[in-house]
Amino acid sequence: MLKKIAVGILLLSSSVSISLAATNTAAETASGHAKTTATNPEYYADMWYRDSAERNAIYREVYLLAEQIIKQKVAAQNLKPKQWGIVLDIDETALDNSEWNYQHDIQGKQQSWNNFATRSQSIPTPGVKKFINAIHQMGGYINFISNRPATLQAATEKDLKEQGIYFDQVLLDATNQGTSFVDKNPRFTAVINGQSPSKLPAQKILAWFGDNIQDFPGLYQKQMIKQNANGNAYNDFGVNFFILPNPMYGSWEANQFN
């Protein structure tokens, strides 16, 4: 009888050991997978941009405050419709392309960005449609200036229209380099003076919007990062310049991390 009990205890012990080992292996596998994903350099940047309340709040806040400031400027300067306008970047300023970042960085899909853009899969950023409609109703021109390659002109305009984002003109990068480092200043000047490639009359630009420091006239990453964060170099932000958050990519990636 004692022998049978001993055998039974041995079998039970073995069964528990096997079960615990299997559980530990599964946990280690799951933990290893999570660790692999979470340590991807782009993981948390993409996650914050796609899935944080803070991102949504910042976009809505910036556009709401900008609308009020522009209203005050129009009234104070007694500006008439079609005398003034605003300039906006497109990607991560008006259109949210984080689905591509999610697919490319997290899921490992190798779809090219140009192919993604051509398929018009981008969606409006929080608050942008309401803001642009308000500016349009006030009589301001909506100028989009982006470093998307000019080969994406038709696809870009199609996406903006399908998403219900109004615009008066879209000026892309005629060099077709398709990088954030292409200088936008010649196109800024063209819009202000009403010269080619701008298709609109000369206009006073009351506000500029972007997610990259180089979306603003005369500003460059290398120079600005060396400036005092509380100094005069940043005085235009919140007054004439309005910047949106983008931790996924930008000219800042070339900075030294220290």
CB 243 within 8 A of CB 213: yes
Which of the two residues, 211 and 19, has the higher pLDDT score?
Answer: 211
pLDDT, one tens digit per residue, over 52-70 is 999 999 999 999 999 999 9
Phi first, then psi, for residue 38 (nearest 5°) are: -70, -25
The CA distances from residue 204 to 137, 153, 250, in Å, are 17, 25, 28
Nearest-angstrom CA–CA distance, 143 and 198: 9
Listed in sequence order, the residues at least 6 apart from 83 whose beta carbon sits closer than 8 Å to its beta carbon are 139, 203, 204
Please write down the long-range contacts of 252-257, taking CB distance under 8 Å and 24 or more positions apart.
252/212, 252/213, 252/221, 252/225, 254/221, 254/222, 255/221, 255/225
Q: How many CB atoms lie within 10 A of CB 240?
A: 16
pLDDT recorded at residue 22: 41
Q: How far apart are CA 15 and CA 45, in angstroms?
A: 44
8 Å CB contact between 208 and 217: yes
Q: How far apart are CA 158 and CA 163, in angstroms?
A: 9
Write the CATH number of the domain with boundaries 42-254: 3.40.50.1000
Max avg pLDDT among 28-32, 114-118, 194-198: 194-198
Say which DSSP state 171 is in.
E
| pLDDT over 60 (residue 82) | yes
Is residue 144 within 8 A of residue 160, CB to CB? The reply is yes
Q: Where are the domains of the chain?
A: 1-39, 42-254
Collapsing DSSP states into helix, strand and coil, what is residue 210?
Answer: strand
Of 148-152, 234-238, 244-248, 250-254, the least confident: 250-254
Find out whether 254 and 221 touch, Cβ atoms under 8 Å. Answer: yes
| Rounded Cα distance, 255 and 222, in Å | 7
**pLDDT tens across 207-221, in order?**
999 999 999 999 999
Q: Which amino acid is at 40?
A: N
For the whole model, what pTM was predicted? 0.83
Q: How many CA atoms lie within 13 A of 151 on its CB side?
A: 10
